[in-house]
Amino acid sequence: MDVSPADVEDALREIEDPRIGDDIVSLNLVNSIAIEDDTAEISVAFNTPFAPSEMELGKEIRSVISDLGLELELHADVTAEQGFDEEVFPNIRNVVAVASGKGGVGKTTVAANLAAGLDKLGARVGLLDADIHGPNVPRILPVPEEPKVTPDEERLIPPESDGVKVMSMGFLVKNQDDPAVMRGPMVNNVMTHFLENVEWGTLDYLVVDLPPGTGDASLDLLQSLPVAGAAIVTTPQQMSLDDARKGLRLFEKHNAPIMGIVENMSSFHCPTCEDTHDPFGSEGAEAIVEDYDVELLGKLPIHEDFGADGTEAPVVKDEDTTPHGPTIELVEEMADRVSELNRRKVAGRTESVDAGSAFEDQPAGTAQVTTDPGQGPN
């Protein structure tokens, strides 16, 4: 019996998106279906390579097509008509921002392990250390050489750290301990240079380690790039939680979609007494999740493998480290969250964050937090 494109479409309606909760045809994730001989050529609006949920959807599509007795050629493609900006950084599919309301919460640790973890999954990844005053990425992802320049000497070529392309202010100072003494306009110039004059090549993800707080560098990024998603890193301490809320509002005001909250230093497992302790408090991130209706992406424990012993390597690359498992889970969840935001954008199923009681005590006119994947990746 001949199988028509309509038959294929009907079969694909049985595949449900695990994170949005509707079938992939109704969500407009199927761009086109063509059948030639015994092969179905299908284009789907996927834009997040190696995200576990997209890979699982791909497997389900292959299974459905196999059941119809056809071979499959599956293509992933999103277009400007589907809301994806091809003007800015056309060779970078997803810009992912990692931010924090204050310093010292492990933001760079999360950003570096996210980049290394995505590379471990198989993606092409770049990491931009935009923390101008505290460029610590090269400590976690050391590179064997300095940045080079293109033959026309107009653009920098970022060096690689075990597969991850890295650019940092740390490469531009003579001594790693020298401070970067800059005021706002100078910071803006450096950010513009990193955004416009670096030859990143083709990337699936550009992870941006933002400086702590809500200053110029963060604003420049949000105004210059279509951010696919932003993750806010916090610890369970009340001061850190208060500042994390400010970070959420910054991204809300610029319509950057919120991936969710990462709680770092969430607990400590004592190897001597075998008990688990919460030196910085517990369930702090849960309060933000409840108030703002955002995702809790994951929790990372307090552990010496996260740099306390001076090691220079991402734990996500070393399966022998104790926090390797939770960190891998965090990376996969963050990739899935970006993937969900991208698919929601195509489907027109944007999210809104109900701040609820979080704004009850705010002055009149304070904006509520919303996320809109309509400002997603290029």
pLDDT of residue 120: 95
Longest dimension (CA), the chain: 73
pLDDT of residue 250: 82
pLDDT of residue 63: 97
pLDDT of residue 86: 61
Low-confidence ranges of the chain (pLDDT < 70): 1, 81-88, 133, 172-191, 214-217, 220, 268-272, 274-283, 304-312, 352-378
Residue 120 in tokens: 């471990």
pLDDT of residue 368: 35
pLDDT of residue 359: 38
What are 241-256's pLDDT values in tens digits?
Answer: 888 888 888 888 888 8
- What predicted TM-score, i.e. pTM, was given to this entire model? 0.85
Cα-Cα-Cα-Cα dihedral sign, residues 333, 164, 105, 259? negative
Angle (CA) 230 233 234, round 5°: 145
Complete domains list, the chain, with CATH:
5-77 (3.30.300.130), 92-348 (3.40.50.300)
What are 109-121's pLDDT values in tens digits?
Answer: 999 999 999 999 9
